Amino acid sequence: MQTEQIVRTFTEYLQDRGHRRITGSTLLPPPGDPVLFTTSGMHPLTPYLEGRPHPLGRRLVNVQRCLRTTDLEEVGDRTHLTVFEMLGSWSLGDYEGPQSLDWGYGLLTEGFGIDPGRLHATVFGGDEQCGPDTDSLELWQRHGVPVERTVEDNWWSNGPTGPCGPDSEIFLWTGDTPPESTPTGDDRWVEVWNHVMMRHRRLDDGSLVPLPQRNVDTGLGLERLAMLLQGRGSVHECDVFDPWRRLLPPLWPLDEPSQRLVGDHLRSAVVVIGDGVHPSNTGRGYVLRRLVRRVLTVLRQDDPGRTLGDLPDELIRHTLDRFRQDVEPSLVRQVLLDEERRFDRLLQQGRRILGRPRFRGPLGEEDFHYLHETHGLPRELVTSLRER
Ligand code: SER
């Protein structure tokens, strides 16, 4: 099943159950929002989860692009991407968690044809502030799905304060052997769909108060589900990466981890630029700068002559189309090339500075700090320059 069909199956299933499709937002949260990028589908809906009536009603479904830098170091493993699409559904003070999980079970098993014997659920086991989620537990028991109880892993929040709640996650077994162990005990259990019973707000002092309404917020990573339904070994091999895997290796032969990183970061950089961000030394622009520089560092390791000018137009266009961004590929390429030139100047300067006697021996924290603060040389770059 191709990603387009996955999106259709998901949205139609929920539309048949009274949900209205809303348009996904850009990666940029509204002004005044403390986070740099939209990290999950619920993010643009925060005011409605907090009680403001939504013009399209109490049941919503959408596809939202998200960016997670917390996972940057995990990129290259089989399940994490920097920019990804999240399928989401919401009950804004309408139906409760068990109904959402029941539809989730139906959609996975009937809509997507997943064998129920390969599912495992987790539920919130309770802590000193909030009791155990027995409603979700009973729902899973009725379906005969094994359940694991956890505490931290089954509490979802978007930050230290704000809307939050217990969640129930659905995992799919990806091993070649019959399912064994539990989601926390074996990483062949891959999380596919999270249902958050979003009905609390955490205050500055850490206490919880009820939100004005009891919501359900669910999120399902599209590329991850595609990987599972397409029987691929990693998100980097699902159909959205097909053109990347066809065009990049002949251009830049790399080992598998580097190929994953380059594909992920370049695709993410295209989307971030497509949403209007330019590289800079702070905020969103700095995230973009890091993505591009990590790519260049990897590309140049084997061959210093590699340039982003060779990135095929087809990949930029394919990505912009996938994320429904109305931007000219030449503009994206220009931003990437300007950043490459800046990086090249920085490299030259870095080599000069690191050639000074003071930096020839082992470097301490103070040296790294000085090189970054005074000369704009990040630790990663210093380390890679000294390795050559
Ligand atoms: N907000 C939850 C998540 O990001 C469910 O959408 O996992």
Please state at what angle helix 242-251 crosses helix 313-322, rounded to 10 degrees: 160
Q: What is the residue with the minimal CA distance to atom 2 of ligand 1?
A: 219
Say how many Å lie between the CA of residue 195 and the centre of ligand 1: 7
Residue appearing with tokens 């989860």: 49
CA of residue 383 relative to chain centroid, distance: 27
In this structure, how many other beta carbons lie within 10 angstroms of the beta carbon of residue 144?
A: 9
Atom index in ligand 1 nearest the CA of residue 195 equals: 5
> Which of the listed residues 86, 154, 215 should we mutate to test ligand 1's pocket, taking the one with most ligand atoms within 8 A of CB?
86
Q: Using alpha carbons, select from 244, 238, 294 the residue that is nearest to residue 267.
A: 244
Ligand 1 centroid to 167 CA: how many Å? 9
Say if residue 206 is exposed, middle or buried (CB neighbours under 10 Å; 0-12, 13-18, 19+).
exposed
Predicted pLDDT at 333: 97
- pLDDT tens by residue, the chain, 388 residues: 999 999 999 999 999 999 999 998 999 987 777 789 999 999 899 999 999 999 999 999 999 999 998 656 667 788 889 999 999 999 999 999 999 999 999 999 999 999 999 999 999 999 999 999 999 999 999 999 999 999 999 999 988 899 999 999 999 999 999 999 999 999 999 999 999 999 999 999 999 999 999 999 999 999 999 999 999 999 999 999 999 999 999 999 999 999 999 999 999 999 999 999 999 989 999 999 999 999 998 998 889 899 999 999 999 999 999 999 999 999 999 999 999 999 999 999 999 999 999 998 999 999 999 998 898 887 878 888 888 6
Whether residue 64 has its Cβ less than 6 Å from ligand 1? no
User: Ligand 1: which of 167, 191, 197, 225 to mutate, judged by most atoms within 8 Å of the beta carbon?
Assistant: 167
pTM of the model: 0.92
Sequence-distant contacts of 156-159: CB under 8 A, at least 24 apart: 156/194, 156/196, 156/198, 156/217, 157/202, 158/35, 158/39, 158/40, 158/42, 158/43, 158/46, 159/34, 159/35
Name the token pair of 324. Answer: 């429904």
Ligand 1 atom at shortest distance from the alpha carbon of 219: 6
44 token code pair: 């643009």
Q: In one letter, which amino acid is 219?
A: G
